[in-house]
Structure 1
Amino acid sequence: MKNWRLRWWLVLCCALGLVFAGPASAGRILVLVHGYLGNSASWQQSGVLPVLEQAGWQLAGNWQSTRSGVRWEPVEPPAGEFAIDTVDLPATAPLMEQARLLGGMLAAIAQQHPTDTVDLIGHSAGGVVARLALVNYGAGTVTRLITIAAPHLGTERAWEALDATDDTGLFGGIKRWLVKREVGDDLYRTLQSSRGVLADLAPPRPGNLLYWLNARQHPDIAYVAVVRGGAYGMPGDQVVPAPSQDLRRVPALNGRASIRVVAGGHELSRQDGLLLSELVSRPANTTVPK
């Protein structure tokens, strides 16, 4: 009789433990979104990913876009509480298409990891794609957006590329020959196939994408912009002007965003990994010092 009562008591205690234990502690995920003409390898090649891994984050895998939707490719061993997901988007596609795919990836992450929070990090055009996905599809489990050298107010380089590859008109053939001679056939073809995304990255004007996006209501999350500035004789970002990278200048985010100004050019570098390690170590609602 005593053994039966003891076993019954142990079963009851185990059952109560399962009821009151609650879910495991929530983890965190960094989702890294590459920029124009980049891919998931950009974070590794630039040194950003190795620095984040040294800080305790672990690459979990990569999201890819396919004709049938999005596909997850995990790495081994499985990541722990602090995970990194990279993505591969069609970098020459219009931003709406890239944002649609990213939105699907974020929804899948939320479904797979409903208790984990996401820091969404986008470099260059990837920062605009990330913001567009949040506006169109909601934040879900994303608690913070960090953009690096992103053209939130556009860049005149996009206009220049569109003009250079406009081979219509009476002298279009001659212009095409001259531009190809200057930049090479491969780059010319790439720019030609990118005209949709280049138009999306042009400075805001009534009727274009950035004009529409910058007036849309944004989710109630934290917004941080890493802005490239010039220092010590360095010219700063020659692709996207520093004011365009400043999320505080986006009308819909007036008073809701913070920035960190750092010296450097447009491309990713190991220093971005160090800065991201610092930024993501802070709670999402923490004010970022300039």
Structure 2
Amino acid sequence: MKRWRNRSWLALCCALGLVCASPASAGRILVLVHGYLGDAASWQHSGVLPVLEQAGWRFAGDWQSTPSGVRLEPAGRPAGEFAIYRVNLPSTAPLMVQSSYLGGMLNAIAQQHPSDTIDLIGHSAGGVVARLALINYGAGTVTRLITIAAPNLGTDRAAQALDATNDGGLFGGIKRWVVKRQVGEDVYRTVQLSRGVLMDLSPPVPGNLLYWLNGSQHPEIAYVAVVRGAAFGMPGDQVVPAPSQDLRLVPALRGRASAQVVPGEHQLTQQDGLLLAQLVSKPAQTASTSAQ
């Protein structure tokens, strides 16, 4: 019975999302940006993409980052009026590198859909990458950014990982041996390869990336943060603290962003698909516009 009720609720929410996304709002594009150690398939495995498809959105392909630029796979697939693109970024690369690929992808999408608007959606580090792309390359046809559990003010977990894998100094070899025994060779090697992005995701201090980003002028679009809050029986996000996820606390976005606080942990879930279907069914409005 419980499973039937869940399915019925899902069908109802999706139907409402499809009704709200009426032909009057045709020409809408969703671009989904994964987080650290994720990929385009993260949106499928989590259940987010299937929920959005049930709400009337059509998957139009994955944008790939390659040494020669960006490309769409499969190429030439018809997008429709409500199209979803996923992106594949090198998630262990520094955020500036990832944002350069994303900027190229957004430009290519705008060329294919010159009269359509884009909702840019980033999970975890993908939300920060999305902000970087907007600042460095302009908003173009993007009218709204939605971040989900994004470390907009950084996370101490990144700093802890950097410290744990810093094997320099007199006792560096011993420290490396101890940490590898705790986390395993593969995890240790992955963190070592990710030092650039982990530095970028460390809490902002003068001179680092997040300090510069959070003080930089952002395009005049709508900004929405989905914030993971604690709830009864649920500890909340143990990777990125809730205040760090809140775009309203970013100095450059004070008074310009809104937030949706929801219970849950850091990973994407089917519930994110339901919330996104609801959010993107409404026209993008800046905080100043909605306050009028």
TM-score w.r.t. the length of structure 2 is 0.89
Residue 77 of structure 1, CA deviation: 5.7
**Counterpart of 1:114?**
114
**Counterpart of 1:203?**
203
Unpaired stretches in structure 1, ≥5 consecutive residues: 1-24
Query: Any idea what SS the aligned residue of 1:219 has?
Result: coil
Matches within 5 A, 1:136-151: 136-151=136-151
Give the CA RMSD over aligned residues.
1.7
- For this pair of structures, how many residues does the alignment match? 266
Residue 207 of structure 1, CA deviation: 0.3
**Counterpart of 2:282?**
282
**Counterpart of 2:160?**
160
Residue 73 of structure 1, CA deviation: 1.0
Matches within 5 A, 1:261-272: 261-272=261-272
Residue 75 of structure 1, CA deviation: 6.8
Query: Any idea what SS the aligned residue of 2:153 has?
Result: coil
Do 1:63 and 1:87's aligned partners in 2 also have CA atoms closer than 8 Å? Answer: yes
> In the alignment, does 2:72 pair up with 1:69?
no
Letter of the 1:229 counterpart: G
**Counterpart of 1:78?**
78
Q: Which structure: larger Rg? A: 1
Matches within 5 A, 1:1-290: 27-74=27-74, 78-285=78-285
Partners of 2:111 and 2:216 in 1: how far apart? 26
Unpaired stretches in structure 2, ≥5 consecutive residues: 1-24
> 1:100-140: per-residue Cα shift (whole Å, max 9, x none)?
00000001111111001000000000000000000110000
Residue 232 of structure 1, CA deviation: 1.1
Partners of 2:78 and 2:112 in 1: how far apart? 14
Do 2:217 and 2:252's aligned partners in 1 also have CA atoms closer than 8 Å? Answer: yes
> 1:56-96: per-residue Cα shift (whole Å, max 9, x none)?
00100010000000011137862310000000000000000
Query: Any idea what SS the aligned residue of 1:36 has?
Result: coil
Partners of 1:75 and 1:193 in 2: how far apart? 31
Moved more, 257-266 or 70-79: 70-79
TM-score w.r.t. the length of structure 1 is 0.89
Residue 202 of structure 1, CA deviation: 0.2
Do 2:64 and 2:89's aligned partners in 1 also have CA atoms closer than 8 Å? Answer: yes
Do 1:59 and 1:75's aligned partners in 2 also have CA atoms closer than 8 Å? Answer: no
Partners of 1:156 and 1:88 in 2: how far apart? 26
